[in-house]
């Protein structure tokens, strides 16, 4: 069996809008999120298909360091490209 991938990703997310925005990321549904940290602290999140909805908002001009650990097998089926 294919072991898939294991990823530790670090990113800086900045709100360049004039309003508050939620922290939403998109990840192939074949990949399972193990943990998410914002500014070094674990945060809760939920998954809706490809969307990863983090319980965190960014005010205008704010930036946050986000660490996400995930693993699994990338699904290549065409049905996931339109979700």
Rounded average pLDDT over 28-41: 96
Whole-number pLDDT of residue 31: 95
Whole-number pLDDT of residue 79: 62
Rounded average pLDDT over 37-63: 96
Q: CA distances (Å), 22 to each of 1, 30, 33, 71, 72, in order?
A: 37, 23, 18, 24, 26
User: What are the pLDDT digits (tens) for 57-74?
Assistant: 999 999 999 999 999 999
Q: Are 42 and 79 in contact (CB under 8 A)?
A: no
Can you tell me the distance from the alpha carbon of 1 to that of 20, in angstroms, rounded to the nearest whole number?
Answer: 44
Strands 45-48 and 41-42: unpaired
Judged against a pLDDT cut of 70, whether residue 82 lies above it is answered with no
């Amino acid at each position: 069996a294919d072991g898939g991938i294991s990823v530790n990703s670090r990113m800086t997310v900045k709100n360049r809008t004039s309003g508050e925005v939620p922290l939403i990321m998109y990840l192939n549904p074949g990949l399972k999120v193990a943990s998410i940290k914002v500014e070094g602290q674990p945060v809760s999140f939920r998954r809706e298909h490809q969307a990863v909805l983090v319980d965190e908002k960014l005010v205008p001009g704010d930036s946050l360091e986000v660490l996400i650990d995930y693993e699994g097998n990338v699904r290549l089926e065409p049905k996931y490209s339109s979700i």
